Chain A
Amino acid sequence: MASSSTGRVVAVTGACTYLGGELLRRLEEDPRYRRVLALDIRPPALAPGGKTEFVKIDLTQPTIDGELATLLDRHAIDTLVHGAFLSHPTHASEWAHELEDVGTMHVLNACAGVEPRRLVLISTTLVYGAHPKNPNFLTKDAELRGHRDSRFVNDKVRAERQVQRFAREHPRVEVAILRFAPILGPTVSNMYTRFLSRPIAPVMMGHDPLMQFVHEQDAAYALQRAVESHASGAFNIVGKGVLPYTTVLALLGRVPLPMPQLIARQLTKVLWTTQLVGSPPSFLDFLLYLCVADGTKARRELGFSPRLSIKRTILDFLGIAAEDGATDVATAQA
């Protein structure tokens, strides 16, 4: 391990999310980092005796920005990773708004005072939204259209807009925005994994958009690269290849349930309101239209290229690749 005076100090908000936890694990093993602060409302699973320290930070508290600024200043944090975002849509939309939109404001307030060297935001490609006019590959310059009536997506869009404004106003801070395609893998849990775990999946009758995923290990590696590098701007972190939605379902062995749009919307609305399904009716647009992003820039500037194809990602999600002894996940870029 490096001497205590050299090495980088990283703080991670949302340390209990999948990506946050993976990042902590990777930073813990990396001697270039002197100290890591895990910020969340509950302690993540930490290896005892490591350099990672848990600090309880609740981003929904009204004066948390001052506390955060003091923390950033006291520990001389050079890199802040902001990943305190929800992976599932929730009915507690007020709280979600406080956490994602206002929480990001608090984080940026703290950063504006202290000006850490680097800020990394964890976002998703859902912010582009699924629209009939989307090109087959959305580049990072594409407009963030979000979704007409999805608070889950729109809170993230607002958070991202704030960060973009912050980046313009504070040119001294390197700001990297990582837009992850839906993450799939054996251990991650999010809206897509939950959706694809059900034995029956709705299909919008007569529609079959292309889908894109990124493997959890690829995603974690991309985040690690983003913390290491100096590149700034928005990056799409996507897996290799695309597949039509019905082929994804077929590979997973799910039973497709074709439904006319009108019925599907009403049914999902009822099921969502009664909390019987975890995806709101607005999510159906992602089963109608394309939302596929282009990851060339991440490869060029971040040095990240996905290792697993979409098919392998799906099989690994299903637990098949692990069963037949394939080890390329195990030997991933740790």
Chain B
Amino acid sequence: MTDDSDPPDPSGDDDWYGDADPRVPDASAWPDRDLRWLGDDVYLGEQAQIAAEHPEPPAEVTRDPAAEIREIERRLAQQRTPVFPIDLRRRLPLEGVWRRWRALAMWGRSDVVDDFGRDPRATARWEWLFEFLYSRWFRVETSGLEHIPSRGRALLVANHAGSLPYDSAMVMHAVRRDHPARRDVRPLVEDTVFHLPFLGPVMNRIGGVRADPENAERLLLKDELVAVFPEGEKGMGKLWKDRYRLQRFGRGGFVKLALRTGAPIIPVAVVGAEEAAPMLGKVTWFAKNIGIPWIPVTPTFPWLGPVGLLPLPSKWYVAFGAPIDLGRAHGPAAAEDRLLVNKLADQIRTQIQEMIEQLLGQRRSPVLPAFLG
């Protein structure tokens, strides 16, 4: 319910996308939202007291017996074969079984997701895992959370490492856990990960969005916190010897995005992800056949099978830097200036690289620095 008090989008379009269900934590405010939704038991439809959903002209919501009769007559006159499920339910002796099955199938998922597919109930279901990784496994130390605004849009730009996107999960969890406004970060996920079987849909349910400029712009215009990893696939494919050396920052798309939407950029440095899954080498043979760009070779994978995909318990640091307001400095028109965009992208890259160096210098233990912190 963090964004409830956000001022509505002046264009008045913000309420279109989402279903104004109070259970969706980030749904923007629908006028006069109907809290009766909270009580309805949707899985046992018979008992469902589904109230009028949104309160447009009240005249329409009030019962008009004449219109009801007209509607019933219309349906009778339709002269179509009755739609199968209604028919099936009437004839099925197992209706009770069918209803139980529905209830069971809805377990752990909500019947309302936000526009980009985040499912609040599924998010809550995975929370324990992230909390475990965050505080027990990686023992993440977060600094600079005060730089994240409590409301309004912002673009988190972070470095990327590891064959599985644990770093985006930790950035997401850090903000949700320790930021006073408990805001939800929407990480942009590369195509290769987003379309991975099983992992992709899970990422989508807990808030990941496919990395696409249109998606990012739409999210920012809805005043969300968006996390981008401009190194993309190249960042994930870094070898051990290149650790903490930032790769090229895409084509500067994130700078254009920040300029166009006026969102401040918050540089984020993540240290520890490289050691969690040190990539000794990568095999491209056969990888294309199963739809991934390469098969990573780490000290544990593929030697230990799927268990080898679990990250090593390295000590992590996440630092959020002071926001950089490119929009105010250069104006939205600057998004068309390619030279400037590239220059700004490189400036931000350098800044994140400096933040990483600083965090690396902070590591206390000279022996096994990565794991003991």
A residues near B (Cβ < 8 Å) are: 25, 45, 132-133, 135-137, 139, 186-187, 189, 193-194, 196-199, 205-208, 210, 240-244, 246-247, 249-253, 255-256, 289, 295-296, 299, 305, 307-312, 315, 317-321, 323-324, 326-334
B200 near A207: Cβ-Cβ < 8 Å = yes
Which of B59-67, B267-275, B306-314 binds A? B59-67
Choose from A135, A199, A205, A295 the contact partner of B215 (Cβ within 8 Å). A135
* A318, B45: Cβ atoms closer than 8 Å: yes
Q: How large is the interface on B (under 10, 10 to 19, 20 to 34, 35 or more residues)?
A: 35 or more
B74 touches A25 (CB 8 A): yes
Q: Type the 1/0 row for B187-226, where 1 means its CB is closer than 8 Å to any CB of A.
A: 0000100011110110011000110101100100000000
Q: Tell me the complex Cα distance, A134–B67, Å.
A: 41
Task: Say whether B365 faces chain A, with CB atoms less than 8 Å apart.
Answer: no
On chain B, the residues within 8 Å of A242 by CB distance are 113, 115, 117
A205 and B53 contact, Cβ closer than 8 Å, known pairs A247-B109, A331-B60: no
Which listed residue (A136, A206, A317) contacts B116, Cβ 8 A?
A136
Assess the B105–A249 pair: CB atoms within 8 A.
yes
Interface of A, helix, strand, loop or mixed by DSSP = loop
Chain A residue, CB-CB nearest to B218: A137
| Interchain CB contact under 8 A, B84 and A197 | yes
Shortest beta-carbon distance, B103 to chain A, in Å? Answer: 9
B113 touches A208 (CB 8 A): no
Q: Which residues of A contact B204 (CB under 8 A)?
A: 208, 210, 244
Residues from chain A with a CB closer than 8 A to the CB of B52 are: 328
> How far, in angstroms, from A296 to B214 measured CA to CA in the complex?
15
The reply to whether B83 and A189 contact each other, CB–CB distance below 8 Å, is yes
Q: Give the distance in Å from the alpha carbon of A207 to the alpha carbon of B117 in the complex.
A: 13
Seed contacts A136-B117, A249-B105, A324-B50; 11 additional CB < 8 Å A-B pairs: A136-B115, A186-B83, A196-B85, A244-B205, A250-B109, A253-B99, A255-B101, A309-B112, A311-B112, A318-B89, A323-B46
Q: For residue A251, which residues in chain B have a CB less than 8 angstroms away from its CB?
A: 42, 102, 106, 111
A-B contact pairs, 23 of them (CB 8 A): A45-B77, A132-B195, A135-B210, A136-B209, A136-B215, A206-B200, A206-B201, A208-B201, A208-B204, A208-B205, A210-B117, A240-B19, A242-B117, A244-B113, A244-B119, A247-B113, A251-B102, A299-B16, A308-B53, A312-B53, A318-B86, A330-B68, A331-B68
Tell me whether A319 and B119 are in contact (CB under 8 A): no
Q: How far is the CA of A90 from the CA of B198 in the complex (A)?
A: 33
